[in-house]
């Protein structure tokens, strides 16, 4: 495989959940724990997109809204702030998540991602 390898830093932050059943805090922390196991998959989605974009790849702030069903599966994903190919990849990976807590009613949770490529190293001067 030729070509440049892109590595990126990903910052992940859980930004909230709707629902007021008293278990919200527990559900959010469990969701954050399970979803964080997919961070490397999110990084791969971004890396694939960034490699295709080349020098046009930019820092992205992406928000994924996950609908968690009563059986603990993710039934819907909406991704905002991402180009279509990145959005499709993220949606596929997030829908595959298993092991979430069962909930008394479906709830939406927002997961924020910040994707960025590391700064390029400064060119070194060659000795003459």
Q: Tens digit of pLDDT for each residue in 9-29? A: 555 554 544 444 445 567 778
pTM of structure:
0.75
Residue 127, in any domain of the structure? no
Which segment, 14-28, 90-104, 106-120, is predicted with the most confidence on average? 90-104
Structurally, the chain folds into a number of domains equal to 1
- What pLDDT is attached to residue 84? 96
Residue 23, in any domain of the structure? yes
Domain coverage including residue 102: 9-116
Residue 83, in any domain of the structure? yes
Backbone angles phi, psi at 115, to 5 degrees: -110, 135
- What pLDDT is attached to residue 116? 84
Q: What is the CATH number of the domain that holds 112?
A: 3.30.2420
Residue 45, in any domain of the structure? yes
CB neighbourhood size of 10 (10 A): 16
Q: What are 37-82's pLDDT values in tens digits?
A: 888 899 999 989 999 998 888 889 999 999 999 999 999 999 999 9
Q: Report the candidate in 82, 4, 93, 2 with the shortest Cα–Cα distance to residue 40.
A: 93
Q: Report the candidate in 11, 7, 110 with the shortest Cα–Cα distance to residue 64.
A: 110
Contact predicate 116/63, CB 8 Å: no
Residue 3, in any domain of the structure? no
- What pLDDT is attached to residue 99? 85
Mean pLDDT of the chain: 80
């Amino acid at each position: 495989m030729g070509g440049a390898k892109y590595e990126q830093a990903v910052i992940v932050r859980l930004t909230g959940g709707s629902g007021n059943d008293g278990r919200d805090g527990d559900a959010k922390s469990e969701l954050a724990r399970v979803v964080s196991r997919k961070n490397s998959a999110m990084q791969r989605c971004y890396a694939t997109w960034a490699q295709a974009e080349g020098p046009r790849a930019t820092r992205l702030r992406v928000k994924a809204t996950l609908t968690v069903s009563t059986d603990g599966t993710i039934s819907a994903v909406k991704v905002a702030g991402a180009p279509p190919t990145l959005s499709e990849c993220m949606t596929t990976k997030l829908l595959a998540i298993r092991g979430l807590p069962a909930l008394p009613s479906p709830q939406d949770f927002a997961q924020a991602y910040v994707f960025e490529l590391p700064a390029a190293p400064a060119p070194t001067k060659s000795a003459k």
